[in-house]
Amino acid sequence: MKKGIIGKKIGMTQIFDEIGNVIPVTVIEAGPCVVAQKKTVEKDGYNALQLGFEEVKEKHLNKAEKGHFASANVALKKHLKEFRLDDCSANVGDLVTVDTFAAGDKVDVTGMTKGRGYTGAVKRWNHHTLCSTHGVGPIHREVGSMGANSTPSRVYKNKKMAGQYGNEQVTILNLKVVKIDAEKNLIAIKGAIPGAKDGIVFIRDSVKA
């Protein structure tokens, strides 16, 4: 990995290119992020930069978190994320801005999907519903058979059933950067990314481009 940044999802819009094609994009407020910690091979066994994003009041942090920022002599930040970078030339206190990326770059975006709570198998796993006639009701949306009674006489592990849906970390690979606005700290990325509006996302250069 060569570069990374923390951002906040603003929403979706569309951009027209030079020949009039419509490009659906997600707008992200990315950075500026401050380097809160630098890790090296000699001390920690690997190279990495810990970035902090978004101002926060002191009362919202505990003593350990406040001490971490105080030792680095940087402003308090709400979100921290470590990026393992090949080149860690930046030092503690330096700023990482959105112009680290450029239009045309391929990036991977990680975020938390929308939480949908406890849902049934039809919504969670896209199962078919049961017949709507012949006396099936009122269980049209139940999961159906759990398996044979004789063998194996139990429900297999990892069977797709009802449960918590959403609110999980997802990474979308090989998205294209369409536009950068360095003055407003905005980056427009083609397509959709995980999460709701104002959700925190992590952007890095693509590992499979």
Per-residue pLDDT reduced to its tens digit, 7-25? 999 999 999 988 989 999 9
Q: 4-114+170-205: which CATH topology?
A: Elongation Factor Tu (Ef-tu); domain 3 (2.40.30)
State the Cα–Cα distance between residues 101 and 98, nearest whole angstrom: 6
Mean pLDDT, residues 136-149 taken together: 85
State the Cα–Cα distance between residues 109 and 201, nearest whole angstrom: 7
> Residue ranges of the domains in the chain?
4-114+170-205, 116-165
Q: What is the dihedral of CA 24, 29, 35, 41, to 10 degrees?
A: -20
Q: Do domains 4-114+170-205 and 116-165 have the same CATH topology?
A: no
Contact 47, 84 (CB under 8 A): yes
Would you say residue 137 has pLDDT above 80?
Answer: no
Q: Under CATH, domain 116-165 is a member of which superfamily? A: Ribosomal protein L3, domain 3 (4.10.960.10)
State the Cα–Cα distance between residues 24 and 76, nearest whole angstrom: 35
What predicted TM-score, i.e. pTM, was given to this entire model?
Answer: 0.86
Contact 53, 4 (CB under 8 A): no
Q: Looking at the chain, how many residues does it have?
A: 209
- Name 103's Cβ contacts closer than 8 Å, sequence gap at least 6: 177, 178, 179, 180
DSSP for 25-75, please give it: EEEEEE--EEEEEEE-HHHHSS-EEEEEEEE--GGGS-HHHHHHHHHHT--
Predicted pLDDT at 136: 82
Would you say residue 151 has pLDDT above 90?
Answer: no
